[in-house]
Amino acid sequence: MPQGDMKQPLLRSSRRPQGPLSDVGTDAPLVGILGTGDFSRSLAQRLVASGYRVVVGSRTPKRSSGLFPEEADVTTQQEAASQADLVFVGLFVEHYSTLSELKESLAGKTLVDVSNGMRINHDGPSNAEQLATLFPDSVVVKGFNVISAWTLQTGPRDGSRQVLLCGDNVAAKTSVAQLCRDMGFIPVDLGRLSSARDIENAPLRLFPTWTTPVVCALSLFFFFYFFNFLHDVLHPYVVNGKNVFYKLPIDTVNVTLPAVAMVMLALVYLPGLLAAFLQLRLGTKYRRFPDWLDRWLQARKQMGLLAFLCAALHAIYSLCLPMRRSARYKMLNTAYKQVKDGPAEVWDDEQVWRMELYISVGILALGLLSLLAVASLPSVGNSLNWREFTFIQSRLGYAALVMATLHTLLFGWDRAFTASQYHFYLPPTFVLALALPCAGAAGPPGAVRALRGAPPGPHPPRLGAGTLHPLPAARGGGEWSRAHQ
């Protein structure tokens, strides 16, 4: 966010925005900018490249003129406010009071507030509302605060294309929205000026949609890691006096990761199943979800991506297992013992087939998860139509869950029924990890068939937060995005 006059630009880039800078005619729309900070410079370059005439208001125009494109007119703040009907206010909120002498010149004009706060604002007035209070005769539109100076310089190809807008005057928002489109961005109207606080808080939030999924994944990781520590490390030490604490950095982590991946993938499906059964119980497809279920549905994309991350890390850890010194020692000890004891047949058809099958199925499961993760990217998902997207995220997502469950079952084989595997009377890890995935893998087909016959109910569908969507959005609960984004 710009603040005052700066002697040198913060972004030193020899690449100018692409566009006909020298072709700006005298009949082009005139846009004013108050402020000469880095954001104001980038904004001026993008506006000129988009075919607009730009007038910049500065307290020291002579010193600041060299920092702007030569096509931009750098003058005093009073002159800039008098000439332009649409003015960007590129100042920090604490400097708004320095513009009080421009009230008369800015009366009846559109002011675009591009400021951000230093911290999240929970209950106070937004910067845009404070600007509107200082200039009651002007029309204030909030916007462009989620776009960085770098994005303005390089164009919308290298950054987010969405510009969030809000304001009380429809005509003013329409003109700012058209300016956004001319600059290559996509305007998103969020309603009245009272929404400005949410827009200003947006750049300050650190992954707001990821908090719950990350906490859930970390909790599962620590739970399964501690469980594996008790089961596979502490038990041999207590019972047999065998020190296998060397397993903690790699072996125990590698056993923990697939369990977390399985449960997180199951959590992608379970809210869809709960929603389907709730619809069946209510006898209609169009009733509001409980808030907790709606939040769970909205977190499915993040949970699915975290499941993919854990599965990918598990594959990498598994590939690294033979590289460890402990694995080499074990191999040498086994070979030495075999030579010492004489020739012996160590081939075991059952174990060979077990490993061949569960590795093959695991590779297929990871491949399907990779496809789901790629399809959840906006750049990829936006190129798919709705039927293609739901096929990948629902049908293939369900197939990924089934394959991952089958991979775990083949890995476990018959060890769930072997008493020696129950250390401290605790079951093997894969038994715990299979509980939710088995429920998720078994539920979707029957739920979907039953839901197709549910009556529509007396209320028309209303899409939005907290609303039960029609069947395609709830099918199997496997959609990682779009349905509740």
CATH number for position 55: 3.40.50.720
Considering the domain boundaries, does residue 3 fall inside one? no
**Number of domain units in the chain:** 2
Same domain, 341 and 381: yes
Q: Is residue 5 part of a domain?
A: no
Say what the pLDDT of residue 289 is.
84
Tell me, yes or no, whether 227 and 196 share the same domain: no
Alpha-carbon distance of 477 to 273, in angstroms, equals 6
- The whole-chain average pLDDT of the chain stands at 84
3-class secondary structure, 442:
helix
Banded model confidence at residue 478, pLDDT cuts 50, 70, 90: very low
Residues 286 and 266 occupy one common structural domain: yes
Domain end point (choices 161, 184, 204): 204
Decide if pLDDT at 480 tops 90.
Answer: no
78 with 213, same domain: the answer is no
Q: Average pLDDT in the 408-430 region?
A: 90
Q: Are residues 183 and 233 in the same domain?
A: no
Dist CA 265 CA 311 (whole Å): 10
Q: Which of 204, 219, 248 is the last residue of a domain?
A: 204
The token pair at 179 is 């300016």
Query: Region 164-172: what's the mean pLDDT?
Result: 96
Question: Residue 85: its pLDDT value, please?
Answer: 95
Of the pLDDT bands very low, low, confident and very high (cuts 50, 70, 90), residue 18 is: very low
pTM given for the model: 0.74
| Together in a domain, 409 and 455 | yes
25 & 113 share domain: yes
- Decide if 120 is inside a domain: yes
Whether residue 454 is found in the same domain as residue 359: yes
In this prediction, residue 449 has a pLDDT band, given cuts at 50, 70 and 90, of: low
Is the predicted pLDDT of residue 303 greater than 50, yes or no?
yes
- Note whether residue 9 is domain-resident: no
**Tens digits of per-residue pLDDT, 363-417?**
999 999 999 999 988 778 878 888 998 899 888 999 999 999 999 999 998 888 8
Q: Are residues 243 and 309 in the same domain?
A: yes
Q: Are residues 216 and 171 in the same domain?
A: no
Q: What is the mean pLDDT of residues 222-240?
A: 95
Q: Are residues 172 and 259 in the same domain?
A: no
Which of 204, 237, 256 is where one domain is finished? Answer: 204
Distance separating alpha carbons of residues 273 and 119, to the nearest angstrom: 39
Whether residue 132 lies inside any domain: the answer is yes
Whether residue 446 lies inside any domain: the answer is yes
Which of 187-196, 337-346, 436-445 has the largest mean confidence? Answer: 187-196
Sheet holding 110-113, edge to edge: 73-76, 53-58, 30-34, 86-89, 110-113, 139-142, 162-167, 186-189
Is 386 part of any domain?
Answer: yes
* Residue 484: pLDDT over 80: no
Statement: residue 446 has pLDDT above 70:
no
Domain identity same for 160 and 222: no
Domain that holds residue 408: 208-477
Distance CA(173)–CA(178), nearest Å, equals: 9
What is the C-alpha radius of gyration for the chain, rounded to an integer number of angstroms? 30
Q: How confident is the model at residue 444 (pLDDT cuts 50, 70, 90)?
A: low
pLDDT, tens digit (0-9, with 9 covering 90-100), for 310-364 = 999 999 999 999 998 888 888 888 887 877 777 667 788 888 999 999 999 999 9
Q: Within a domain: residue 483?
A: no
